[in-house]
Structure 1
Amino acid sequence: MTVNQLFDSLWLDYTTRLCPSAEKVHHLLQEDTPLINDHIALRTFKSNHLGIEALAKTFIALGYEMGGEYHFREKKLYARHYQHPDPSLPKVFISELLVEQLTLEAQQIIASLLEQSEELDIASGAFLYRGRPWSITIDDYKQLALESEYASWLAAHGYGANHFTVSVNQLNAFDEVSTVNAFLRQQGFAINQSGGDVKGSPEVCLEQSSTLADTVNVAFSDGVLSIPGGFYEFAKRYQQPDGQLYQGFVEASANKIFESTHRQR
């Protein structure tokens, strides 16, 4: 599989299963040249079989290298981002839930999910865009949600890109993240306001925003629920003192972007 084939497969899964509205957003922002995807984000549970390293293998085999690591202590998450020597290729942000920091009840639910995926073929990378490799009940989903929105989202959806990201730097019609937000609001999209409409600033060399996650129907082992799926992000990168565009991520901003998939109470 080539790198472009991998991202095409991830996009197809994302737009059909997790974030159908992304096709409309993509069309609204499309200009004369194809939109540049700044990065995608993947989620997983910390484990020997399916931790960050397992998800990263496919990308590393295609030339990606680790670019940075991040800690989200409040959300009990650890993350790394990977980037390719070809700057036109998207960065990949992979986070994992530190399962050992959850309650014993939550750990037991997650362990049962991971046991069901012990035979998952990691080497091919196809699991990255084939959804949920385990069965889960509605009660277990709701129990995880009481403790961690991240845990319940991952338990319900499995693997796949929870978001793609438009690079605002390339747009001609919009030169600020805030004007992208205003335009999309006019088109009926809700913007994640956690931490403000725009997360970050030129001072930290990165500004980000995102839509709120689509509501999608998910089949559990004992019924169907409408729950948050994926969302679309928008990022503007600024030059560092050395003149190069900043390529990393800002923990305080990413912490709020995670909340795009939270259930609206």
Structure 2
Amino acid sequence: MTPEKLFEAMWKDYISRLCPSACQVHQLLQENEPLINDHIALRTFNLDPVKLDTLAKPFLAMGYEEKGQYHFESKKLNAKHFEHPDPRQPKVFISELEVEHCSGSVQKIVRSLVAHIRPDMVSDASFLYGGRLWPVSLEQYYILSEESEYAAWVAAHGYGANHFTVSVNQLKKMNQIAEVNRYLINNGFLLNTSGGEIKGTPAVFLEQSSTMADKVVVEFTEAELLIPGGFYEFAKRYPMANGELYPGFVTASADKIFESTNH
């Protein structure tokens, strides 16, 4: 599978299952050329056979290289980002929950979910947009939600792009994050304000903002429930001393972006 085909499949899953409003955002920001996707993000647990390195394998096979590592202590997360030699390809940000640092009840639930997965179910790239690989009950979801919104999100949604990201550097009519934010708010979108509407500054070479996650219907073992799904992010990168745009991520900013899926 080529990167183009993989991201196309992930986009279709994202707009149909996780973030239907992304289509409207796309139409609002689209100019003369297709929007550039700065990066996607994926979430998982640090357990075999779905740990971070498993999710990274299809991307590494397509030429991606690991470029950065990140730790989010309060959320019990580790993450890595990957880049392709072709700068036109989106960056990939993959995070995983440190299950062993969670409470006994959360560990028990997460391990019981992952126990449903056979290695063949994650043997090719299609599982990255395949949704949930286990049954989950409302009781399990609520218990996870109380301690870790992240754990609850992965339990409910499984695998798919948590978000896509518009590269604001490409836009001509609105080349500042603040302008994009105002435009979206004026069109009825709710933005993530945790840590401010804009996360980061030109001084750290990256500014980011995001919508709050769409509420989507998810089927649990007992009933359906409307819960936070995916969101749309916006990123502006600034040139470093060597003149090249900063390619990485800022932990303090990403920490707040995670909260776009909070209830």
TM-score of the alignment, normalized to the shorter chain, above 0.5: yes
Task: Identify the TM-score tier after normalising by the shorter chain.
Answer: over 0.9
**4+ residue stretches of structure 1 with deviation over 3 A?**
none
Deviation per residue, 1:59-79 (Å, 9 max, x gap): 000000001000000000000
Aligned to 2:206: 206
Q: TM-score scaled to structure 1, two decimals?
A: 0.98
Residue 256 of structure 1 pairs with residue 242 of structure 2: no
> What letter corresponds to residue 194 of structure 2 in structure 1?
S
Deviation at 1:48, TM superposition (A): 2.5
Aligned to 2:23: 23
Deviation per residue, 1:100-123 (Å, 9 max, x gap): 000111100000100011344323
> What letter corresponds to residue 228 of structure 2 in structure 1?
P
Aligned to 1:137: 137
* Contact 1:120–1:127 (8 Å) recurs in 2: no
Higher mean alpha-carbon deviation, 121-130 vs 140-149, is at 121-130
* Contact 2:49–2:119 (8 Å) recurs in 1: no
Q: Distance in 2 between matches of 1:139 and 1:73?
A: 26
Higher mean alpha-carbon deviation, 92-101 vs 123-132, is at 123-132
* Contact 1:238–1:246 (8 Å) recurs in 2: yes
Aligned to 1:223: 223
* Unaligned segments of structure 2, at least 5 residues: none
Q: TM-score scaled to structure 2, two decimals?
A: 0.99
> What letter corresponds to residue 202 of structure 1 in structure 2?
P
* Contact 2:43–2:159 (8 Å) recurs in 1: yes
Task: After TM superposition, list the pairs within 5 Å mapping 1:107-186 onto structure 2.
Answer: 107-186=107-186
Residue identity (%): 57
Deviation per residue, 1:142-171 (Å, 9 max, x gap): 000000000001100000001000000000
* Root-mean-square deviation over aligned CA pairs: 0.7
Residue 68 of structure 1 pairs with residue 59 of structure 2: no
* Unaligned segments of structure 1, at least 5 residues: none
Deviation per residue, 1:173-193 (Å, 9 max, x gap): 101101100000000000000
> What letter corresponds to residue 88 of structure 1 in structure 2?
R
Aligned to 1:10: 10
